[in-house]
Amino acid sequence: GRNDTPDAQRMGITWMVYDPLGRVVNQYAAWEDWPFTGGHKEHEFHKFGGEFTLSEEGEYTTEIWLLMNPDAPVIVDSYEGFLCTVVKEVIPPECTIDADCPEGYLCVNGKCVPEEEVEKKFPWGPVAIGAGALVAAIGFATAAKKGAK
């Protein structure tokens, strides 16, 4: 913050961060230590309110105030409004086909899995269709043979 007065002033800062539902997820307040900020000088607040998690999707807002005179605080600058937008991370699949995976791996539900871990399933559908056609052919041949006698 900047002290625009000609005299040294003790400067303070306070802020609150709100999640998309309007709940306070972080708040911080501090006053600078001696020596105070001289006239027409700037002070940087290096210690902050610690880490906090932005866990809700949506728009976060903040209120920040630069203050002087802790005995009777005066707001000399402020900001109220948009801080950031949190969106859900979309992680693309590791693979979409077996060729996307290294040798010895197969693509299963978007992940490359070692072949030995993939359950081997026999393709019964074509076998059943083939067997059904064979049974039908034998049935027709038998019927044709009986009809020819």
- Could you tell me the mean pLDDT of each successive run of 10 residues in the chain, 149 residues long? 80 93 92 81 73 89 93 93 93 93 93 87 58 58 58
Q: Which one-letter amino acid corresponds to residue 25?
A: V
**58 and 107 together in one domain:** no
The two three-digit tokens of residue 73, written as one number = 């605080």
pTM (2 decimals)? 0.57
**104 and 77 together in one domain:** no
The pLDDT value given to residue 6 = 78
Helix (H, G, I), strand (E, B) or coil at 129: helix
Range of the domain at 107: 91-120
DSSP state of 97: S
DSSP state of 42: B
The pLDDT value given to residue 119 = 76
Exposed/middle/buried for 39, CB within 10 Å: 0-12, 13-18, 19+? exposed
- Look at the chain and report how many structural domains it folds into: 2
Q: Cα 36 to chain center, whole Å?
A: 41
